[in-house]
Amino acid sequence: MSRHREEVRQGLLSVGLHRQAFLDEWGPPAQTYAMPGGTRVDVNQFGGTSTSTPVMYDVWAYPSRRTCLVFYGVRLQSWTTGKVDCDPNHTAN
């Protein structure tokens, strides 16, 4: 976890960082959102599909850092910088 915290501290974002590192270094996000992301297909040992489950992502907004983080479970999946509005349901006119 210390490596993850150091990367966050230095602003070196990368896929797979643990969300606790952001909480430890940046504090709690200003807002959080749930964002559906399609479905995950599970493959059984014979190569066939066994189930498909909906995927939900957590979006964390840090407007003061102009950063939006997207987590799947506890791991960072993607991010956007230079944004203040991270609401995935917001539509611009």
Q: Is the pLDDT of residue 60 over 80?
A: yes
Q: Is the dihedral of CA 78, 83, 8, 64 positive or negative?
A: negative
pLDDT digits (tens, 9 = 90+) for 70-92: 999 999 999 999 988 998 877 55
Map out the domains of the chain as residue ranges.
Answer: 2-81
Beta strands in the chain (DSSP E): 31-43, 49-62, 67-72, 75-81
Quote the CA–CA distance of 64 and 17 in Å, as a whole number: 20
Quote the CA–CA distance of 78 and 37 in Å, as a whole number: 12
Predicted structure pTM score: 0.81
| Contact criterion met (CB below 8 Å) for 26 and 79 | no
* Amino acid at position 84, single letter: V
* Amino acid at position 80, single letter: T
